[in-house]
Amino acid sequence: MGRFSLGVSPHADGDKEETVAQTQVPSQPERQAFLARMRHSAAHVMADAVLEMFPDAQLAIGPAIEDGFYYDFKLPRPLTPDDLREIEERMRRIIAADFPFIREYMDRDEAIRFFTERNQPFKVEIIQELPEEGLEDGKVSIYRHGKFIDLCRGPHVERTGQIGPFKLLSVAGAYWRGDEKRPMLQRIYGTAWPTQEELEAYLQRLEEAQRRDHRRLGRELDLFSVSEMVGAGLILWHPKGARIRTIIEDYWRQLHYERGYELVYTPHVGRKELWEISGHLDFYRENMFPAMVGETQEFYVKPMSCPFHIQIYKSSLRSYRDLPLRLGEIAAVYRFERPGVLHGLLRVRGFSQDDAHIFCRPDQIEEEIVGVLDLTLEIMRTFGFHEYAVYLATRPEKFVGDPEQWEAATEALRRALEKQGMAYDLDEGGGAFYGPKIDFHIKDALGRTWQCTTIQFDFNMPERFDLTYVGEDGRHHRPYMVHRAILGSLERFLGILIEHYAGAFPVWLAPVQVIVLPIADRHTPYARTVAATLRTAGLRVQVDERREKVQAKIRDAQLQKIPYMLVVGDREAADQTVA
Q: How many helices (H) and strands (E) does the chain have?
A: 17, 28
Catalytic, out of 90, 335, 484, 553? 335
Beta strand 425-427 with 388-393 is parallel
* Residue 322 is among the residues annotated as catalytic for this protein: no
Beta strand 262-263 with 325-334 is parallel
Quote the Cα angle for 491-495-499, to 5°.
170
Catalytic, out of 74, 245, 306, 500? 306
* Residue 357 is among the residues annotated as catalytic for this protein: yes
* Residue 360 is among the residues annotated as catalytic for this protein: no
Q: What are phi and psi of 352, to 5 degrees?
A: -110, 130
- Asked if the bond preceding 324 is cis, omega within 30° of 0, the reply is yes
Catalytic, out of 245, 318, 483, 492? 483
Beta strand segments in 275-377, E: 292-293, 298-301, 325-334, 350-360
SS3 assignment, position 61: coil
**Rounded CA separation 425/506 (Å):** 32
Q: Are 5 and 19 in contact (CB under 8 A)?
A: yes
Q: What is the spatial order of strands in the sheet that 298-301 belongs to? A: 269-271, 298-301, 292-293
Nearest to 102 by CA among 47, 141, 144, 154: 144
* Residue 335 is among the residues annotated as catalytic for this protein: yes
Catalytic, out of 355, 439, 458, 544? 355
Catalytic, out of 92, 214, 309, 357? 357
**46 contact partners, CB below 8 Å, separation of at least 6:** 62, 69, 71, 87, 91, 168, 188, 190
**Rounded CA separation 427/429 (Å):** 6
**Rounded CA separation 485/352 (Å):** 11
* Residue 353 is among the residues annotated as catalytic for this protein: yes
Catalytic, out of 353, 456, 513, 542? 353
Taking the CA atoms of residue 331, residue 332, residue 338 and residue 340 in that order, the dihedral angle to the nearest 10 degrees is 90
Q: How far is CA 566 from CA 540, 544, 562, in A?
A: 13, 10, 11
Q: How far is CA 269 from CA 138, 203, 222, 227, 309, in A?
A: 48, 45, 31, 23, 13
**Rounded CA separation 438/412 (Å):** 11
Nearest to 59 by CA among 68, 50, 67: 50
* Residue 483 is among the residues annotated as catalytic for this protein: yes
**Rounded CA separation 287/334 (Å):** 9
Catalytic, out of 240, 309, 349, 437? 437
**Rounded CA separation 162/201 (Å):** 20
* Residue 437 is among the residues annotated as catalytic for this protein: yes
Catalytic residues: 306, 335, 353, 355, 357, 437, 483
